[in-house]
């Protein structure tokens, strides 16, 4: 079939902002507990920080590249969309959530709201905890504008009169210490039966003039600058990637400025001064009606004693029927694979398998990829203990996992210190595959056991993200995993694996082949031709056009894309056979499931699980794996739990329109996540 009708793909950055609009909509849902609604506001702030640090910064860089198709008009459009989203975010916080919190007797008290005893307590807190850490800087030729780190919070002031030396230096800067809590809970005896909080910025603001004796503060504002924070190192030119990244971490906080936030009462004189200092245009100025950096309100959520205003606790289920507790996981896996669906099922079996391997004298070797594990990790501690016990431990540590670089460097150094073999993947490619492989001696022969997953080896996020993992002793899959580890260590030529697909080698081409197979079946008149893809992002142009060809041939195409999707669905004659959904609920959708059907026979369908999204970077600039679920029982379980519920969700699902805007399907009915929680809670 010829290429589909040419069409303009949706803008990726605007698609990311559209996803955050869907997340922000959670803050307006009356069926979501109040503190969780506030948490969604905080999540959007955190997401937008990363958006500016990485995506928007890349756009600005691309505009300067003569070979790029990015234009200043593209940047302006995305900037305006970001302004609109942030304005909406503060509107929801001020006009919806704050009054509702007040009704629940949860209040944030500004200086004007505080009575005399409260002001007295705040003054004592300022003297004891805050003033000793403040360094007010008056600007003059000997005190130039200070280095301002990425996302650090400051005050800027215009002062009256002259300084102690008779000079007319009117501008001063005060940094808000990062080591102090941003939200402080007042004692109960001062709160009048409420839960009352003060913000650190409010504490400092009330005492600004005390920092400049003899002068008055005529005008002031909080401000925060966001900088380009993508670590860039020339891997071809460096001898030691770890040392280069360690060095780069010290300068990351001072990259090129891309956004300036001030409060909406900031005088134009001060905001213009700041824009000049950071070399930013007026379009980069974001005036916000409330606290600069809403992320810090997570501290208020954590300190508030109100269980009824949070989601009811959910305890992931242990797969008792398939994996009895307190019995050898290795013995169980000899009888068949075990599929785990997080967070509905516990991540503990993965930890238990590794724990069992560490103490088992018959286990000879353990290999694992490390992408995001966190600063504290029992899994990493277990790998270290395994190396101490003399087992062969190989860790593939991805040092360039964005914003986890420092934690991963620290783990790499600790592993090396106990004799583990640590490799950093392949130059120019991030290792994003999630693999654990254990080699055990049994009856004089070696046998492998493995775990492969769509998510990270992080027990904390395994309670918050939806993912699928497979515990297996399958000879083909574990041999493939071993081949991937050898590839990463030896850098030898790629040889096709038995079952797994491996990016950047054959995953992309195999996905296109499967789409073509479904397309051919549809053209031949097969009415059941079907593609269902559940991923986090769809931005690869070739795969998008492959989906379009398949749909135009008559196959039904359902896409469940959590985040950015550049395929415009619903265009008559072009993409009207494609439906794009996004599900935003209590948990972050993270599972990647790829389903293709081209015939009614048992061998007429294929279902893959994968670590990769359908983005060019995943397909060509990362080490990723996808593996087929060949057991018919497990394949049906994946369909029943990870696809069908999401295709029929009417509560948490949004449908994407051809213009890139999404609309909630309904605000009632069935929630896929809630249905799965009930299923596993009831056993």
Asked, for residue 319, whether it belongs to a domain, the answer is: no
Verify that 579 and 526 share a domain, yes or no. yes
- Average pLDDT estimate for 54-71: 88
Instruction: Indicate if the pLDDT at residue 246 is higher than 70.
Output: no
Q: List the alpha helices (DSSP H) in 93-131.
A: 98-103, 116-125
Instruction: Indicate if the pLDDT at residue 638 is higher than 90.
Output: yes
Domain that holds residue 643: 502-681
Asked, for residue 463, whether it belongs to a domain, the answer is: yes
614 — pLDDT class (breaks 50, 70, 90)? very high
Cα 604-610-611 angle, rounded to 5 deg: 170
Share of the chain above pLDDT 70, in %: 94
Instruction: Indicate if the pLDDT at residue 236 is higher than 60.
Output: no
Asked, for residue 272, whether it belongs to a domain, the answer is: yes
Verify that 347 and 289 share a domain, yes or no. no
Verify that 510 and 461 share a domain, yes or no. no
Instruction: Indicate if the pLDDT at residue 168 is higher than 90.
Output: no
Phi first, then psi, for residue 325 (nearest 5°) are: -65, 155
Of residues 601 and 472, more confidently modeled: 472
Q: Which DSSP helix (H) or strand (E) runs through 477?
A: helix 475-490
Instruction: Indicate if the pLDDT at residue 4 is higher than 50.
Output: no
Verify that 292 and 380 share a domain, yes or no. no
Verify that 284 and 341 share a domain, yes or no. no
Instruction: Indicate if the pLDDT at residue 237 is higher than 60.
Output: no
State the first-to-last Cα distance of the chain, in angstroms, to the nearest integer: 48
What percentage of the chain's residues is helix, strand, coil (to nearest 5)? 40, 20, 40
Q: What is the pLDDT of residue 166?
A: 63
Instruction: Indicate if the pLDDT at residue 188 is higher than 70.
Output: yes
Asked, for residue 33, whether it belongs to a domain, the answer is: yes
Phi first, then psi, for residue 288 (nearest 5°) are: -115, 145
Task: Say how far apart CA 290 and CA 178 lie, in whole Å.
Answer: 19
311 — pLDDT class (breaks 50, 70, 90)? very high
Note whether 467 and 534 are within 8 A (CB).
Answer: no
The domain tally of the chain equals 3
Bridge pairing between strands 363-370 and 392-397: parallel
Nearest-10 crossing angle of helices 72-92, 12-25: 10
Q: What is the pLDDT of residue 243?
A: 56
The CATH number that applies at residue 71 is: 3.30.1840.10
Nearest-10 crossing angle of helices 241-252, 405-417: 140
Phi first, then psi, for residue 186 (nearest 5°) are: -75, 150
Asked, for residue 2, whether it belongs to a domain, the answer is: no
Task: Say how far apart CA 272 and CA 209 lie, in whole Å.
Answer: 23
- Average pLDDT estimate for 352-360: 97
Verify that 342 and 481 share a domain, yes or no. yes
Task: Say how far apart CA 482 and CA 490 lie, in whole Å.
Answer: 12
Count other C-beta atoms under 10 Å from residue 33's C-beta. Answer: 16
Q: What is the mean pLDDT of the chain?
A: 92
Nearest-10 crossing angle of helices 378-388, 405-417: 20
The CATH number that applies at residue 602 is: 3.30.870.10
Q: What is the pLDDT of residue 492?
A: 74
Q: What is the pLDDT of residue 73?
A: 92
320 — pLDDT class (breaks 50, 70, 90)? confident
Of 229-243, 297-311, 335-349, the one with minimum mean pLDDT is 229-243
Count other C-beta atoms under 10 Å from residue 265's C-beta. Answer: 11
Instruction: Indicate if the pLDDT at residue 248 is higher than 70.
Output: no
Q: Where is the domain boundary, 256, 277, 309?
A: 309
Q: How far apart, in Å, are the Cα atoms of 118 and each of 122, 191, 583?
A: 6, 8, 44
Give CA 148 to chain center in angstroms. Answer: 25
Instruction: Indicate if the pLDDT at residue 241 is higher than 60.
Output: no
Q: Where is the domain boundary, 253, 280, 309?
A: 309
Phi first, then psi, for residue 434 (nearest 5°) are: -115, 100
Q: Which long-range contacts does 95-98 make (Cβ < 8 Å, 24+ apart)?
A: 96/27, 96/28, 97/27, 97/34, 97/37, 97/38, 97/41
Of residues 193 and 398, more confidently modeled: 193
Asked, for residue 314, whether it belongs to a domain, the answer is: no
The first and second tokens of residue 482, run together, are 């071993």
Q: Where is the domain boundary, 309, 344, 366?
A: 309
Verify that 449 and 538 share a domain, yes or no. no
Asked, for residue 72, whether it belongs to a domain, the answer is: yes
Cα 518-520-526 angle, rounded to 5 deg: 75
- 400 Ramachandran zone, left/alpha/beta (phi>0; psi -120 to 50): alpha
Q: What is the pLDDT of residue 430?
A: 87
Instruction: Indicate if the pLDDT at residue 257 is higher than 60.
Output: yes
Verify that 295 and 353 share a domain, yes or no. no
Verify that 24 and 91 share a domain, yes or no. yes
Q: What is the pLDDT of residue 143?
A: 72
Task: Say how far apart CA 97 and CA 100 lie, in whole Å.
Answer: 5
Verify that 537 and 482 share a domain, yes or no. no
Short-list 550, 637, 76, 48, CA closest to 337: 637
Instruction: Indicate if the pLDDT at residue 2 is higher than 50.
Output: no
Q: Active-site positions?
A: 432
Task: Say how far apart CA 335 and CA 222 lie, in whole Å.
Answer: 62
Instruction: Indicate if the pLDDT at residue 78 is higher than 70.
Output: yes
Q: What is the pLDDT of residue 326?
A: 83
Short-list 267, 283, 299, CA closest to 75: 283
Task: Say how far apart CA 389 and CA 380 lie, in whole Å.
Answer: 14
The first and second tokens of residue 645, run together, are 């519920």
- Which residue has tokens 């026979």? 601
Verify that 263 and 387 share a domain, yes or no. no
CB contact set of 454 (below 8 Å; sequence gap of 6+): 434, 467, 468, 469, 590, 591, 592, 609, 610, 611
Q: What is the pLDDT of residue 286?
A: 98
Of residues 163 and 25, more confidently modeled: 25
Task: Say how far apart CA 495 and CA 423 lie, in whole Å.
Answer: 20
Task: Say how far apart CA 21 and CA 26 lie, in whole Å.
Answer: 9
Verify that 578 and 604 share a domain, yes or no. yes
Note whether 411 and 405 are within 8 A (CB).
Answer: no
Q: Which DSSP helix (H) or strand (E) runs through 367?
A: strand 363-370
What one-character DSSP code corresponds to residue 426?
A: B
232 — pLDDT class (breaks 50, 70, 90)? low
Q: What is the pLDDT of residue 238?
A: 44
Asked, for residue 315, whether it belongs to a domain, the answer is: no
Give CA 435 to chain center in angstroms. Answer: 20
Q: How far apart, in Å, are the Cα atoms of 488 and each of 354, 407, 430, 433?
A: 21, 21, 11, 11
Of 40-44, 82-86, 417-421, the one with minimum mean pLDDT is 417-421
> Can you give the C-alpha Rg of the chain in angstroms?
27
């Amino acid at each position: 079939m010829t290429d589909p009708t040419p069409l303009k793909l949706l803008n990726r950055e605007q698609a990311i902002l559209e996803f955050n609009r869907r997340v922000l909509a959670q803050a307006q849902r009356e069926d979501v507990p109040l503190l969780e609604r506030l948490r969604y506001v905080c999540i959007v702030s955190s997401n937008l920080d990363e958006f500016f640090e990485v995506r928007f910064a890349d756009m600005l860089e691309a505009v300067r590249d003569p070979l790029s198709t990015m234009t200043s008009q593209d940047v302006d459009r995305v900037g305006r969309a970001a302004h609109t989203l942030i304005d909406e975010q503060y509107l929801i916080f001020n006009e919806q959530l704050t009054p509702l919190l007040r009704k629940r007797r949860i209040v944030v008290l500004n200086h004007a709201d505080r009575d005399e005893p409260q002001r007295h307590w705040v003054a004592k807190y300022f003297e004891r905890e805050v003033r000793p850490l403040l360094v007010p800087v008056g600007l003059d030729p000997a005190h130039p504008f200070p280095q301002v780190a990425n996302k650090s919070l400051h005050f800027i002031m215009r002062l009256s009169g002259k300084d102690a030396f008779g000079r007319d230096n009117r501008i001063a800067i005060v940094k808000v210490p990062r080591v102090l809590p941003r939200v402080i809970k007042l004692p109960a005896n001062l709160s009048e039966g409420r839960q009352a909080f003060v913000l650190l910025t409010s504490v400092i603001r009330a005492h600004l003039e005390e920092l400049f004796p003899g002068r008055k503060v005529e005008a002031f504002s909080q401000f925060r600058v966001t900088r380009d924070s993508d670590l860039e190192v020339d891997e071809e030119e460096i001898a030691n990637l770890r040392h280069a990244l360690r060095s780069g971490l010290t300068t990351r906080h001072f990259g090129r400025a891309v956004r300036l936030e001030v409060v909406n009462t900031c005088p134009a004189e001060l905001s213009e001064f700041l824009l000049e200092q950071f070399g930013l245009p007026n379009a980069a100025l974001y005036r916000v009606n409330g606290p600069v950096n809403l992320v810090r309100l997570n501290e208020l959520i954590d300190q508030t004693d109100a269980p009824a205003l949070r989601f009811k606790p959910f305890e992931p289920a242990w797969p008792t029927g398939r994996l009895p507790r307190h019995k050898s996981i290795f013995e169980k896996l000899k009888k068949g694979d075990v599929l785990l669906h997080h967070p509905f099922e516990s991540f503990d079996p993965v930890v238990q398998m590794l724990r069992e391997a560490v103490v088992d004298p018959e286990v000879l070797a353990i290999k694992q990829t490390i992408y995001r594990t966190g600063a504290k990790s029992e899994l990493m501690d277990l790998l270290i203990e395994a190396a101490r016990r003399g087992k062969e431990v190989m860790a593939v540590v991805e040092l360039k996992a964005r914003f986890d670089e420092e934690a991963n460097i620290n783990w790499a150094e600790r592993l090396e210190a106990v004799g583990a073999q640590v490799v950093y993947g392949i130059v120019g490619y991030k290792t994003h595959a999630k693999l654990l492989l254990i080699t055990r001696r049994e009856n004089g022969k070696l046998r492998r056991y493995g775990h492969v997953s769509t998510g990270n080896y992080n027990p904390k996020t395994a309670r918050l993200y939806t993912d699928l993992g497979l515990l297996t002793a399958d000879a083909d899959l574990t041999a493939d995993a071993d081949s991937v580890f050898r590839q990463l260590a030896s850098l030898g030529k790629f040889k096709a694996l038995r079952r797994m697909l491996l990016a950047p080698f054959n995953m992309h081409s195999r996905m296109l082949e499967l789409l073509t197979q479904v397309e051919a079946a549809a053209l031949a008149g097969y009415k059941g031709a079907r593609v269902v893809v559940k991923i986090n992002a769809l931005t690869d142009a070739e795969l998008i056009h492959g989906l379009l060809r398949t749909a135009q041939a008559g196959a039904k195409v359902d896409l469940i894309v959590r985040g950015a999707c550049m395929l415009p669905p619903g265009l008559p004659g072009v993409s009207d056979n494609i439906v794009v959904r996004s599900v935003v609920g209590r948990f972050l959708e993270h599972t990647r499931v790829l389903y293709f059907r081209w015939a009614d026979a048992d061998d007429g369908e294929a279902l893959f699980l994968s670590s990769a999204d359908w983005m060019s970077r995943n397909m060509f600039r990362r080490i990723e794996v996808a593996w087929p679920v060949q057991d018919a029982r497990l394949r049906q379980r994946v369909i029943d739990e990870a696809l069908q519920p999401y295709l029929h969700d009417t509560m948490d699902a949004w449908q994407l329109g051809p213009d890139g805007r999404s609309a909630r399907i309904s605000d009632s009915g069935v929630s896929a996540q809630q249905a799965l929680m009930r299923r596993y809670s009831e056993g």
